[in-house]
Every structure is written in structure tokens, then in C-alpha cells.
Amino acid sequence: MSTPVVVTPRIGIVVVSFNTRSLLRDCLASIAGAPFPTRVVVVDNASSDGTTAMVRDDFPSVELVANDTNRGFAAATNQGLAGLTDHSDFILLLNPDAALCPGALEHLVNFMLAHPRVGVCSPRLQYPDGRPQAGAFRFPTLAMAFLDLFPPRGPLLGRLYDSYLNGRYPEERGVEPFPIDHPLGAAMLIRSETLSEVAPLDEHFWLYAEEVDWCLRCHRAGWAIWQVPAAHVVHVAGASSSQFRSSSFVALHRARARFVHKWHTPFYRRWYARIIRLGMVASTLTAWRDWWRGRLQPAEIRDQLSGYAAVFRLVSESFAPDNNSSPARTMDVQPPF
């Protein structure tokens, strides 16, 4: 009887950076010592904080693509993918504010090897202090848009926040792998065959929602997406309450509006626009109340009011009855890492 040949999978890793030098250093350090043949590509979007020098000096084996301008997250990711797809069995997309825990990559790769129709799998995410972080989601719905802007209070808060109605998976509290609609884009392992079939990220999603769009296309092509809770990744973003930034807030809603334009019917679009406009009015009133009570400084309320007004205008113009075009791409927005 012949002995079966065990082929060691080839792993490609793409990390896109923009002024995230310290976080990127921790991210790349967590990749060192991977148990598989690994090619790591860092695509830097014209950082001004010394990121490229750090990569060259501290991680000479990492392939660095240094852009002269900020090309956006999706376009930069596609740059990294272009040189890896034909030479890798699996490709890990990893945010610079994410770090692999010991054994994480092995768990993800082994799951993919055992399940040939799974096109993407993702790890369990956690904050740096060990608290669990939501990393598995259902595709966006009108109910999710409403709950995002009008979160329930009292006993219903926790129950609805972690429910299917809010796009969450209660299975995240367990230990067994489970199928999902899409992961948070902080870390996701993609089968190269899947990537070749589905095509790269849509570069019209300049920042935010690009992984949601890609995963929807992945599902429609017949590939499954799973979370593997045995694999753990530390994800820094959102670890503590951060200051409101109108530029990021508007960029997020512009990406969401583009997704709605791309995938949903006119009926859905109309109701989505109504929910968002109502939410911006409510948020504006809340901001004024918080300022009146001394909870916001003048600069903070100006930034919040600017963001809410910009999103109100965005959805009013984007979803006007005579407008069939998607929102324009957002340029030069700092990722919230």
C-alpha cells in the first residue's frame, strides 16, 4: 500500500497599512514562525509615520508595496492579492490592528483543508484585554439599520444586541465552528480557488463594507463561509470608546449606501433612506442634549453635527427618486485603528 503524499499548503498574507506603524509591528510579529510556507505582503497607502522604514528595517523578509498616494483599502488589498493568488493555496487578509494568537493560523488552515467547499473562514476575535468581540455577522437588513441608530434600552438591550435580528450569531459563545454570512474583515482566510472564481474586492468600496460585498458574491457563487472559534485573533479597533470622527462616520455610511444601491430593490432603498435620515435627526437632537448637559465640548459637538448633516445629505441625494447612481468613493479617510 502506498503512503499518501501530504502536501504542505502555501499561505499568502496581505496587510494594508495607513499610519499604523506600532500596530503593524505587533501584527507582523504575530505572523513570525508560521508553521507553513508563508509569503507576507504589506501594502502601505502613503503613510507619513515611518511605517515603510519600520517594515524594511524590522521585517526584511516581508514584501513591501509602498504606494505614493492613499489608494483606499480595497484597491490596496487587491494590489497585495495580485502577486499571491497564483502562488498560494490560501490567503489571509489581516488588518494591521490584528494579531494572531498561537495556533490561530493552523486552526484556520486545517479547517479549510477538511472542508473543500468552504471558501472563507474566520477566527474568533477578542479585545486586547481578553473580552470577546463580535466577529460574525448576517448580511445587513433594514432591522439592523434601525437598531444601529435606535438601540433598545433596559432588559431588551442585551437580548436584541446579540440576536439574529441585529445580525449577530449567538453561536459565537460556543466552541464549535458554524456557518455565517460574513466575518468582520479584520481577519479572514480565503481559498485561492474561491478568490479566482469570485474576483477581487470591489474597489468602489474605498473604505468599509468591501468584505461584506465580497462575501455576498462568494455566497452567490456557491461557496460557504464559516467561523472557527478555536482560532483566536486579538483585534485592537474599538477596544475602548473612541472619539467621534465625522470623516470616518460619513465614510462608513457612504459605503453602506453603496452596498444598498448595488444589491437592493428601490423599495428597500426608500425605506433605508428614511431610517437613516430619521436616525440622523435623532442623533442631532441627542448631541445638542449632551452639549447642554456639559457632556460634549464645543469642538466635539461641531464634529458630530457636521457628520450627521453630511450623512443626511448623502442619503437624501443618493436615494433621490431620479438618482440611479451609487455614492462616490470616499477619499483620504483615516481608518479607525
pTM over 0.95: no
Contacts of 69 (CB under 8 A, 6+ apart): 45, 46
Confidence of residue 239 (pLDDT cuts 50, 70, 90): very low
Angle between helices 298-318 and 246-263 (to 10 degrees): 20
CA distance 256 to 140: 9
Q: Give the count of alpha carbons within 13 A of 17, CB side only.
A: 31
Average pLDDT, the chain: 91
Q: What is the pLDDT of residue 329?
A: 53
Mean pLDDT of 201-227: 97
What pLDDT, in 10s, does the model give residues 159-203? 777 788 999 998 888 999 999 999 999 999 999 999 999 999 999
What pLDDT, in 10s, does the model give residues 240-272? 334 568 889 999 999 999 999 999 999 999 999
CA distance 32 to 237: 22
